Chains A and B, each alone.
Chain A
Amino acid sequence: MEKVGITTTIPAEIIYAAGMVPVDLNNIFITSENPQGMVEEAEIAGYPRNICAWIKGLYTTVIRSDDINTLVAVTQGDCSNTHALMETLELSGVRVIPFAYPYDRDHDLLKLQMEKLMEAFGVTWQQVKREKERLDQVRQKVWKMDELTWKGNRITGWDNHLYQVSCSDFNGDPEVFAQEMDNFLNGLEKKPALNTGLRLGYIGVPPIVDDMYDYLEERGARVVYNETQRQFTMPFNNEDIVEQYRLYSYPYGIFYRLQDVKEQIKLRQLDGIIHYAQSFCYRQIEDMIVRQKLDVPVLTLEGDKPNKLDARTRMRLDSFVEMLR
């Protein structure tokens, strides 16, 4: 089946309805053998050093791949660097289809964007709705996993992150992914109980490092809420697919996002929030608003290079955990 690259979560139903496979480039980049090497490769090609590492990783992922010739790029609601990413990839002969989430969450504009995407892939509403039913069955399992994360004490922050973040493309095979989710949930009772006293929330884009969750758990603090990753699972149980992507908070303004964050802080009884922002990202500015609007302690983390926490960030995590205790 033909692969279609995506720069972040888009209505995956449309790609699956076309009999194609969405591939979240972020996941390919960050799970590759040497993500930092991919960042450097983009820099050699001419990407500036003071630009987000994700964008550079995405660029190299597509350039290196021999089977991703079409890309759906989110031009509004994610990152304006994506515009230049699209253009540099277009220069290399990749077919780029733009998709824009309307800033004000306007229903009609969003519907129009989805229809344009459907037109590009030659699919109908009926086909798309059928795919939504298929994907919702998988999503329900992931919702269950997320619920067990904060209600129980056997699911690590990393597992919660990984299964949810995978819902942007369902790893290219929803049924296989669902099976993996089932196996994980069935084996849960045998997993050791995690004795972590502090309950943390993680908000912002998924981390570019892979050792943060373990590092926190070793220090007695567990992430029981991953904001954006959870949003990727469309946890709304809404039958209307346009409404589903309107409720999806990540691509819209910070105030709308924070409504969701506040609800979850209360529901999951969080002791503190880690706000992660990528170096050079406009979301670093929004940290001002996050700090003002949330009434639990907030640690702002800045991540630049993949793949491990640096000494300074570890020092800051230590101090934050110590402070909450």
Chain B
Amino acid sequence: MYAGIDLGSRNVKVALMKDNGKFNLHKYDTVSFYRQYGRMEEGQLVVDLAGAGLADMKLQNIVSTGYGRQTINLKGTKNIPEIKAHVTGAVHLAGIKDFTLLDLGGQDSKVAKVVNGRMHDFETNDRCAASTGRYLENMAAVLDIDMKELSRYHEHPVDLTSTCAIFGETELIGKVVEGHPVSELAAGVNYTIFKRIKPMLLKLKSPKLVFTGGVARNAALKKIVEQEISVEVIVPDNPQYAGAIGCAVTALENDII
């Protein structure tokens, strides 16, 4: 068995790859995960594997990645760069080798061009979280709807101009006061994300786009991308686990080599 751990900003995702190639997937709130299972030893994070559901795991069969990777080394495990993990996971999940990867996570947006299964070029968001899951969560809270409801709307979007996730809230409240229906407000929020990632997508465009990360569950955004830049958008099952699955696949490949 092999395990991949993606230490994300919102959630820690664990993918356990069984001998038949199938995955068991687990998700933990990042802060609770560190509090419950983690402790620091000589500047490195040590995770209580049994508590985190990895009791019988050999350390050499675990590969980790994620935002935490930069500040926290998961002691004893191999760490791989985040974009590599996501590309590997997307290749595995989508079953294709030439595509543009769009990964929208809690605080990150990444776009990578994948040619023949290898990363060819990549872009990430600038120093701002206005194109990420956290932004959507904040805006859904302002509209008093959940993420599922938010992801239903892409038509007749209100125009939100603010480039800042926080000032965007003020602007959205202004639109609420103007009397726009929730559908148009939600569509406006979804469009804002698209506007932020559009330059990156155009720069690294391919005919097929694989959309991963938690935000990939937003069906409205998928439609917007398809319509606006005329590409086929593939959202694999469990898109938010792409990084963790990429790690588990890497653990398997390392073991074979």
Task: Report whether A302 and B70 are in contact in the complex, using a CB–CB cutoff of 8 Å.
Answer: no
Q: Taking the complex as formed, is B82 at the interface, i.e. its CB lies under 8 A from any CB of chain A?
A: yes
Q: Taking the complex as formed, is A69 at the interface, i.e. its CB lies under 8 A from any CB of chain B?
A: no
What is the distance, in angstroms, from A28's C-beta to the closest C-beta of chain B?
27
Q: Taking the complex as formed, is B224 at the interface, i.e. its CB lies under 8 A from any CB of chain A?
A: no
Task: Report whether B127 and A279 are in contact in the complex, using a CB–CB cutoff of 8 Å.
Answer: yes
Mask: chain B, 79-123; 1 = CB below 8 Å from A; 0 = not: 011111000000000000000000000001000000000011110
Q: Taking the complex as formed, is A285 at the interface, i.e. its CB lies under 8 A from any CB of chain B?
A: no
- Closest-by-CB residue of B relative to A319 is B83
What interface size band does chain A fall in?
10 to 19
| Other-chain contact of A311, B70, B81, B83, B119 (Cβ < 8 Å) | B70
What is the distance, in angstroms, from A289's C-beta to the closest C-beta of chain B?
15
A319 to B88, CA, bound (A): 13
A311 to B71, CA, bound (A): 7
What is the distance, in angstroms, from B72's C-beta to the closest C-beta of chain A?
10
Q: Taking the complex as formed, is B67 at the interface, i.e. its CB lies under 8 A from any CB of chain A?
A: yes
B253 contacts which chain A residues (CB < 8 A)?
A: none
A314, A318, A321: most-surrounded residue (chain B CB, <10 A): A318
What is the distance, in angstroms, from B103's C-beta to the closest C-beta of chain A?
12
A279 to B83, CA, bound (A): 23
What is the distance, in angstroms, from A293's C-beta to the closest C-beta of chain B?
16
Mask: chain B, 148-176; 1 = CB below 8 Å from A; 0 = not: 00000000000000000000000000000
Instruction: Take A279-B127, A319-B84 as given contacts and tell me if A297 and B119 are in contact as well, using a CB distance cutoff of 8 Å.
Output: no
Interface secondary structure of B, over-half rule: mixed
Q: Taking the complex as formed, is B183 at the interface, i.e. its CB lies under 8 A from any CB of chain A?
A: no
Q: Taking the complex as formed, is B126 at the interface, i.e. its CB lies under 8 A from any CB of chain A?
A: yes
Task: Report whether A318 and B122 are in contact in the complex, using a CB–CB cutoff of 8 Å.
Answer: no
Task: Report whether A322 and B119 are in contact in the complex, using a CB–CB cutoff of 8 Å.
Answer: yes
Task: Report whether B127 and A304 are in contact in the complex, using a CB–CB cutoff of 8 Å.
Answer: yes
Instruction: Take A319-B84, A322-B84 as given contacts and tell me if A312 and B122 are in contact as well, using a CB distance cutoff of 8 Å.
Output: no
Q: Taking the complex as formed, is B206 at the interface, i.e. its CB lies under 8 A from any CB of chain A?
A: no
What is the distance, in angstroms, from B116's C-beta to the closest C-beta of chain A?
13
Task: Report whether B122 and A315 are in contact in the complex, using a CB–CB cutoff of 8 Å.
Answer: no
Task: Report whether B127 and A319 are in contact in the complex, using a CB–CB cutoff of 8 Å.
Answer: no
B122 contacts which chain A residues (CB < 8 A)?
A: 319, 323
Q: Taking the complex as formed, is B61 at the interface, i.e. its CB lies under 8 A from any CB of chain A?
A: no
A315 contacts which chain B residues (CB < 8 A)?
A: 67, 69-70, 81-83, 124
Which residues 297-325 of A have a CB within 8 angstroms of B? 297, 302, 304, 311-312, 314-316, 318-319, 321-323
Q: How many A-B residue pairs have CB under 8 A?
A: 39
B67 contacts which chain A residues (CB < 8 A)?
A: 311, 315
Interface residues contributed by chain B, number (CB under 8 Å)? 17
B126 contacts which chain A residues (CB < 8 A)?
A: 302
Task: Report whether B81 and A312 are in contact in the complex, using a CB–CB cutoff of 8 Å.
Answer: no
- Closest-by-CB residue of B relative to A298 is B121
A304, A314, A315, A316: most-surrounded residue (chain B CB, <10 A): A315
B83 contacts which chain A residues (CB < 8 A)?
A: 315, 319, 322
Task: Report whether B70 and A323 are in contact in the complex, using a CB–CB cutoff of 8 Å.
Answer: no
A302 to B120, CA, bound (A): 21
Instruction: Take A297-B121, A323-B119, A323-B122 as given contacts and tell me if A318 and B82 are in contact as well, using a CB distance cutoff of 8 Å.
Output: yes
Task: Report whether B124 and A316 are in contact in the complex, using a CB–CB cutoff of 8 Å.
Answer: yes
A311 to B80, CA, bound (A): 14
A302 contacts which chain B residues (CB < 8 A)?
A: 126-127
Which residues 38-83 of B have a CB within 8 angstroms of A? 67, 69-71, 80-83
- Closest-by-CB residue of B relative to A309 is B70
What residues of chain A have their CB less than 8 Å away from a CB belonging to chain B? 279, 297, 302, 304, 311-312, 314-316, 318-319, 321-323
What residues of chain B have their CB less than 8 Å away from a CB belonging to chain A? 67, 69-71, 80-84, 108, 119-122, 124, 126-127
Offer 13 A-B interface pairs, CB within 8 angstroms, sorted by A: A302-B126, A311-B67, A312-B127, A315-B83, A315-B124, A318-B81, A319-B81, A319-B84, A322-B81, A322-B83, A322-B84, A323-B120, A323-B122
Q: Which 6 A-B pairs have the closest CB atoms?
A: A318-B81, A311-B70, A319-B83, A314-B70, A319-B81, A322-B81
Given A316-B124, A322-B119, A323-B119, 17 other A-B contacts at CB below 8 A? A302-B126, A304-B127, A311-B67, A311-B70, A312-B124, A315-B67, A315-B70, A318-B82, A319-B83, A319-B84, A319-B119, A322-B80, A322-B81, A322-B83, A322-B84, A323-B120, A323-B121
